[in-house]
Amino acid sequence: MEFYLSKQSVTPKELNTAKLYSFEDECDVTNADIIYIDASNLALANKYLRSIRQQSSPAVYLTPIIFICSPLQNLAPAMNLADGLLLTDKLDPYNIQQIRNQFMACKTRIKELVKPEAEDIQIAFKILRYLYIHQQNIEPVRTITSQYGYRYPILEPFFDSQDHSLLNTLEFLESHNLLLSKAIENSYQCNSCESAFLNFQETCSHCQSSNLKMNELIHHFYCAYVDNKDAFLQENGEMVCPKCEKTLKHIGADYDKPSIVYHCNDCHHDFQDAQITTTCYNCHSKSVPDDLVHRKVKSFELSALSKQAAVYGLENMLQAVVKEVFNAIDFNTFDRFVHIESARIHRYQVSNSCLFKIEISDLESLYLELGEKAKGFFIELTQLIKIRLRSSDLVSASNESTIVGLLIETPEQNSKIVMGRMLNDVEQLLKSSVNFHVPISSKLQPITKSIDANELMELLL
């Protein structure tokens, strides 16, 4: 399904299969494959682009958005804001089908996300998912419209304002190996307001005035006399040595220019090495180059780790690995087995089984600390638990950080031994893998005839 948002109440005939909405209408675009936006009024189009990107539903904010523009418009402001541009004089079936083919895979990747119906709150995670779904790299664009001198326009609609939030988010993702960067150029910014628009000027080393006159030093080879060029220069344009009165004709043969000298018109100080100072065009503060904020202007692309994190989320990978290693059942099925086992024990009163829980706190920090090694770590962790269990035991994940299990026909005392060995293995793995303490909590709950299954699960969790 395709949607067309416009201030007009008419859909272009080439897009007559798209569902028409006016900008004034409230519309649900959850099921859209592509959203076309009339960008004849770019400010209005950008407003609706932002409103879509700032939704929390992946099925909405990840949807490809195409601006429909007139060829007579100034297209520069619209470039790189939306996922694509279509000119009104190019609205033919071929170009429209090209757009559809280009973004066909986006919906497929959205459906592959773990819990695609869930809401994404963190902007960093939304950006990660957007880049994965659209298979997009991020390139800086030089511009005078940003105080930093460059922008990442494709990501700006995710943010309410053009402050430092976008750059901070990219730095955060890069620092945790979720984005790979490539330095494009250096940027020097004001140390007061971080504006990149600076005036570099030579100033007097004595009074800091920029009212300077620059003169070349002339070295006459014949008599070794050195002075300012003004001392040699005659009214007719010739240069004559003040010492020996010989005419200087050819540089390199008669003379050279070993240096330059500055004269301050304010304090009349003469000097050779001028001090470089900067004045910010935004806040007017002055500085020297060594005190400026130095940033690398970078392009970014997804890392191998970010592709996994975009699909599973930063915490949902543990659930996926538990299912992969154990061929585990989902938690609802696990809960049903607990009810059956509880009823069996209650009926026959000759069996002993136990429930266990292992919970890892602050899983997101653990995930980010390990970087690309995270999935391998979780696989090793679950394998350590698996080797302590029998094939008849059941395992599941109750949430993104908690593993639960059912030790069938295992008395409480024996279950404590199994539990102790599992915890020891996990703690040893954590100590060898990360440099900080990761809190682990555990619980063992015997299944008894005096406690019903619902209460057992409440006590466990």
Query: Which tokens go with 309?
Result: 């994190």
Could you tell me the pTM of the whole model?
0.63
Contacts of 54 (CB under 8 A, 6+ apart): 61, 157, 158, 160
Helix, coil or strand: residue 225: coil
pLDDT of 441:
92
Mean pLDDT of 330-335: 91
Task: Decide if 219 contacts 257 (C-beta within 8 A).
Answer: yes
Please enumerate in sequence order all residues whose Cβ is within 8 A of that of 397, keeping only pairs 6 or more positions apart, or say none. 318, 319, 322, 323, 328, 331, 403, 404
pLDDT tens string 271-288: 888 889 999 999 999 999
CATH of domain 314-460: 3.30.70.270
Classify domain 2-185 at the CATH class level.
Answer: alpha beta
Q: What is the mean pLDDT of residues 449-458?
A: 89
Predicted pLDDT at 49 = 92
Distance CA 215, CA 259 (A): 9
Q: Mean pLDDT in the chain?
A: 87
What's the pLDDT at 224? 92
Q: Quick check: 11 pLDDT over 80?
A: no
Which of the given ranges, 1-10, 180-189, 261-270, has the highest pLDDT on average? 180-189
Q: Domain boundaries in the chain?
A: 2-185, 205-273, 314-460
| pLDDT at residue 367 in the model | 62
* Cα separation, 286 vs 290, whole angstroms: 12
Closest CA to 274 of 212, 227, 217: 212
Residue that has been written with the tokens 């994190």 in this structure: 309
Q: How many CA atoms lie within 13 A of 403 on its CB side?
A: 29
Averaged pLDDT, 61-71? 91
Instruction: List Cβ neighbours of 129 (8 Å cut-off, separation of 6 or more).
Output: 58, 62, 113, 120, 310
Residues contacting 243, CB < 8 A, separation 6+: 220, 223, 225
**pLDDT tens across 13-45, in order?**
777 777 777 776 777 787 788 999 988 888 889
